[in-house]
Structure 1
Amino acid sequence: MSQILRNIRAILNRNKDQHSIPVMDGNMSPNDALDRCAELAVFNASPDDMALDSDGRLHVSVGDRVLRGRPAGEWEEVAHLPGAAGALAFHPDGRLLACVSGEGLALISNGGRVEWLRKAGGQKLGCLTGVVVARDGTIYVTQGSCDTQPQDWVVDLMQKNTSGLLIRVDPTGREAEILARGLAYPGGVAITPDDSQILFSESWAHTLSLCTRDGGGRRKMVRNFPGYPSRLIPDGRGGFWVCLFAARTHLVELVLSDAEFRTAMMAEVDPAFWIAPSLRATGSYMEPLQGGGIKKLGVVKAWAPPRSYGLVLRVNLDGDVIESLHSRVGGTCHGVTSALPCAEGLYVLSKGHQRLVMRQRGGLADA
């Protein structure tokens, strides 16, 4: 009956966006570029995002802390927050903006004083996923879901929630308004180089969209990614780096299409073993997709169906993929949630393997 209903919907909604998984070929062809990056740091908790201050010092959100330092050097604690720290950005006035799970947006002054934005339009901001600041100091944030917190993103996907928000905050950080509702887990937000438009991702819809600074004129720039897009970072050349924290698989897509099976799985199976994407495969024999990754000569097949994956794409403003950096099955740079251009090249943060790596300037994403 489910198959019959899907066929009927496909006939009646011919113009509806199709979300079959696109093939990774051309400029998205799999390679080992992320695994070939130089390792700069390994953290004892899951890192999430990065930002550079006006002096070029790197800040990384790790667990419930924000650390500052220079890669391969010493790290110092800048802030200890009451929840898991996520997206980071710097305001033109020098304040550090940090999204905190279950709490909202922390605005941290140079002296360490913290102000909070906890609500927008009466909605608690407990699942902020992205933050960016325009030239005039206006702040834009994304709330992934109004039903779950960031650490429960797998639950949100399995529930197929679409309660995400795009929010505009005045430069003081005290007043906020909701520009868009009903988004499918917006995981990142950025501003176009001319400072006129907002770019945001929707992880569960696998899309990238543009809108004006007041939320109007929304249109899709990329309609269908092969993974779940999250953070967006300007590449300095008019385009953007897009972090995809996991790759899509046909098995997960099948589970998402079967409400009865999905509901039973969530009720009866440990979440660690759900048929769902992961930031890192543990290798447990109880994990799904084990059969597709059987070792031969001690090596896991790189083309096996991925339980976890590492992927960063560079796209232009036409939505074309210019370049891609991969860490395939068996790799050591999965669950990428942040990338950041720097003088030496590109920093990449692997939340799955808790590593900071750097792709040196001039490096090629060759196989």
Structure 2
Amino acid sequence: MYFGPPPRIIETEVFAAVPDKLRAGKKASPFLEGLSFDLAGNLYCVDIRLGRVYRVSPRGEWDVVVECDGEPNGLKIHRDGRIFIADHRNGILLLDADKGKVTPFIEGPSKQRFKGVNDLIFAKNGDLYFTDQGQPGLHDPSGCVYRYTAAGRLECLMNDIPDPNGLVFNVR
């Protein structure tokens, strides 16, 4: 229970909205995740429903960087500028934003496929951590948390987790 003062109310405004021309004729709202900024101030995000990666310029202009044959579910930009995608169907992908191409980076452990990669984050030392969610819900507690070291070694840190989703580090 929280007994502190009530949170301060702040006002926000919409900076940019997905343009109608990018909705592919669908009335459903996009499902945006994996928000990450590059060094030029562009905001990248994924849309799992349409299998897209978007880039929003500092002026609020949207463009489709790539349409994946998969379900991009998370995105992070490494400190060296490489863009990584957690794709529920295809594992960890590497995006070349200039060419609009994705290539497999990690497809699965020991010649197996992941159950459904969900989110990813980089540690200060460059190690990549990500969740392999599988099917959401408590009925399938077979999810995992992995670390891919900067030296190129894949390690399962936790297994038999029901529905692992996002990851965050405490920087303190």
Indicate the TM-score class for this superposition, using the shorter chain for normalisation.
0.7 to 0.9
Aligned residue in 2 for 1:49: 34
CA shift, 1:132, in A, is 0.8
Q: RMSD between aligned alpha carbons?
A: 2.8
Greater per-residue helix proportion: 1
Unmatched segments (≥5 aa) in structure 2: 24-29
Report the more deviating stretch, 111-120 or 176-185. 111-120
Indicate conservation of the 8 Å contact 1:131/1:188, yes or no: yes
Indicate conservation of the 8 Å contact 1:144/1:187, yes or no: yes
How has the CA–CA distance of structure 1 residues 189 and 28 changed in structure 2, closer, same or farther, with 3 Å as cutoff?
A: farther
Which of the numbers 85, 91, 103 marks the counterpart of 2:78?
A: 91
CA shift, 1:176, in A, is 1.8
CA shift, 1:111, in A, is 4.3
**Residue identity matched to 2:37:** L
1:135-168 alpha-carbon deviations (Å, 9 max, x no partner): 33211111122xx2xxxx3xx24x2x21110101
Indicate conservation of the 8 Å contact 1:87/1:129, yes or no: yes
How has the CA–CA distance of structure 1 residues 94 and 72 changed in structure 2, closer, same or farther, with 3 Å as cutoff?
A: closer
Aligned residue in 1 for 2:13: 38
CA shift, 1:187, in A, is 1.2
1:118-141 alpha-carbon deviations (Å, 9 max, x no partner): 102454224112111123321111
Whose Rg is larger? 1
Indicate conservation of the 8 Å contact 2:127/2:150, yes or no: yes
Indicate conservation of the 8 Å contact 2:54/2:62, yes or no: yes
Indicate conservation of the 8 Å contact 1:163/1:183, yes or no: yes
Q: What CA distance in whole angstroms lies between the structure 2 residues aligned with 1:180 and 1:167?
A: 7
SS in 2 for 1:73: coil
SS in 2 for 1:83: coil
How has the CA–CA distance of structure 1 residues 58 and 180 changed in structure 2, closer, same or farther, with 3 Å as cutoff?
A: same
Aligned residue in 1 for 2:164: 186
Indicate conservation of the 8 Å contact 2:120/2:166, yes or no: yes
Indicate conservation of the 8 Å contact 2:41/2:58, yes or no: no
Report the more deviating stretch, 109-118 or 124-133. 109-118
Indicate conservation of the 8 Å contact 1:92/1:135, yes or no: no
1:266-345 map, 5 Å = none
How has the CA–CA distance of structure 1 residues 122 and 32 changed in structure 2, closer, same or farther, with 3 Å as cutoff?
A: farther
Aligned residue in 1 for 2:26: none
The reply to whether residue 167 of structure 1 matches residue 172 of structure 2 is no
**Residue identity matched to 1:41:** A
Aligned residue in 1 for 2:93: 106
Indicate conservation of the 8 Å contact 2:73/2:118, yes or no: yes
CA shift, 1:190, in A, is 2.5
Task: Spell out structure 1 runs of 4+ moving beyond 4 A.
Answer: 31-34
TM-score (norm 2): 0.76
How many corresponding residue pairs? 158
Aligned residue in 2 for 1:16: none
CA shift, 1:49, in A, is 2.1
How has the CA–CA distance of structure 1 residues 165 and 27 changed in structure 2, closer, same or farther, with 3 Å as cutoff?
A: farther
Q: What CA distance in whole angstroms lies between the structure 2 residues aligned with 1:103 and 1:109?
A: 16
Q: What CA distance in whole angstroms lies between the structure 1 residues aligned with 2:51 and 2:5?
A: 34
CA shift, 1:56, in A, is 2.3
Indicate conservation of the 8 Å contact 2:131/2:164, yes or no: yes
CA shift, 1:51, in A, is 0.5
CA shift, 1:170, in A, is 3.0
How has the CA–CA distance of structure 1 residues 163 and 33 changed in structure 2, closer, same or farther, with 3 Å as cutoff?
A: farther
- Structure of higher RCO (CA pairs closer than 8 Å, 6+ residues apart): 1
Indicate conservation of the 8 Å contact 1:121/1:178, yes or no: no
Q: What CA distance in whole angstroms lies between the structure 2 residues aligned with 1:97 and 1:79?
A: 13
1:1-367 map, 5 Å = 25-26=2-3, 36-43=11-18, 44=23, 45-62=30-47, 63-70=50-57, 73-109=60-96, 111-112=98-99, 113-116=101-104, 117-145=106-134, 148=135, 153=136, 156-157=137-138, 159=139, 161-171=140-150, 175-193=153-171, 238=172
How has the CA–CA distance of structure 1 residues 93 and 71 changed in structure 2, closer, same or farther, with 3 Å as cutoff?
A: closer
